[in-house]
Amino acid sequence: MAERADGGATATTKWDAPGGDGRRGLVIAALAVVVAGVIAFPRALPNSPGRAGSLLESFLPWVGVVVGLLFVVALVRRSGVALVALLLPVAVWVQGFGGLLPPGPDAGTRELLVVQHNVGDENPDPAGTARALVAAGADLVALEELVAPASLAYEDVLGAEYPHHAVHGTVGLWSTYPVGEAQVVDIRPRGVEEGGSRGLRAVVDTPYGDVAAYVAHLPSVRVGPGGLASCLRDESARKLGDAVRAEKVEAVILMGDLNSTVDDRGLEPLTSQLYVAERGFAFSFPATFPVARIDQVLARSATVGHIRTLPATGSDHLPVAARVTLS
């Protein structure tokens, strides 16, 4: 309270006034520091039990929502201390993810437009999905979950615009440029029986030189009472990483449903040797309310300048399109 000259009193609005009021923002400030640490050092969280670290990393950009909630609480509590402390996680989030927000400049020459899409094995309109992908005008189109008889529709529609393609098992690649040396890449985890191939490698003869194009569909993960079940995916990622590491062609483009985000340590065998997208969040799954990008375009001796989602198709994934500039 503040005394008036006439002896009366009037109420004043205080932010972190001395005494008990000064402590009301300390809890929020402490939480702000913890959140900043989580964003900056997610790998400090152990991956066991339940692969908690991978689960956090899969949704790491969304930790920014927690910062927003703390900001609202700080305003309601009128805590200047908390508001100042919240500058730390904001700065860390911007440092880690702010660069993904603005669109990148057009790269111009030596650029390939790549489309990646898990078309869904229960897609009710494969021909319509294929037409939507053709409309994107990509140089390379990579598809997963190609199952009969829908796979025939993809081959018919895409084949009219893309004269070169390779399909092995449930993954395929369509290209405007010649495709050669197509072969299966065995990414099956141990104990998985022989079946449809989920890994493909082909050499694409582009105007800028040969490119080793990989198409892959890593095993699915599940979140349950025991945490994140990702053992099969992680093992498959290691096998795919070994194949890329042994690749003799200098330029590599990997397209696929990797069932993981690029922040997830489970993809480290790939992200440790391939460039990820420089700009664009491109959350691709689930199509009805996308919360994570698990459909990826990664590259070696090339940069993925910008990645974005395309309009929904009949799949439970959104297609993603990426600009890849060869070195």
Q: Where are the domains of the chain?
A: 11-100, 111-326
d(CA 178, CA 171): 18
What is the per-residue pLDDT for 106?
Answer: 57
170-208 pLDDT per residue, tens: 999 999 999 999 999 999 998 777 666 899 999 999 999
Q: What is the pLDDT of residues 278-290, one digit of tens each?
A: 899 999 999 999 9
The DSSP letter of residue 256 is: E
Q: What is the pLDDT of residue 3?
A: 47
pLDDT for 15 equals 55
**Structural tokens at position 115:** 């489309």
pLDDT tens-digit map of 223-275: 877 778 889 999 999 999 999 999 999 999 999 999 999 999 999 999 999 99
> pLDDT averaged over the chain?
89
Coil vs helix vs strand at 9: strand
pTM metric for this prediction: 0.84
- Identify whether the C-beta of residue 305 lies closer than 8 Å to the C-beta of residue 278: yes
pLDDT band with cut points at 50, 70 and 90 for residue 5: very low
Which residue type does 141 have? V
What's the mean pLDDT in 46-69?
Answer: 87
Reported residue count of the chain is: 327
Tell me which amino acid residue 109 is. Answer: T
pLDDT at position 217 = 97
The pLDDT value given to residue 133: 98
**Contact in structure between 154 and 126 (CB atoms under 8 Å):** yes
The tokens for 70 are 């703390």
Round to whole Å and give the CA distance between 217 and 199: 7
- Rounded distance between C-alpha atoms, residue 49 and residue 46, angstroms: 8
| 37-46, 80-89, 217-226, 247-256 — most confident range | 247-256
What percent of the chain lies above the pLDDT cut of 70? 90
Convert 65-91 into a string of H (helix), E (strand) and C (coil): HHHHHHHHHHHHHCCHHHHHHCHHHHH
Q: What are the C-alpha distances in Å from 94 to residues 29, 48, 83, 99? A: 18, 28, 17, 7
Asked if residue 172 lies in contact with residue 159, where contact means CB atoms within 8 angstroms, the answer is: no
Look at 14-28, 67-81, 134-148, 248-262 and tell me which has the smallest mean pLDDT.
14-28
CATH topology classification for 111-326: Deoxyribonuclease I; Chain A (3.60.10)
Range of lowest pLDDT (74-83, 204-213, 286-295): 74-83
Residue 181 confidence (pLDDT): 93
- In terms of pLDDT, which residue wins out, 214 or 67? 214
**Closest-CA residue to 66 (of 38, 41, 42):** 38
Query: What is the helix, strand, coil percentage profile of the chain, to 5?
Result: 35, 25, 40
Q: How confident is the model at residue 154 (pLDDT cuts 50, 70, 90)?
A: very high
Average pLDDT over residues 19-34: 76
Give strand ranges (E) for 11-79: none
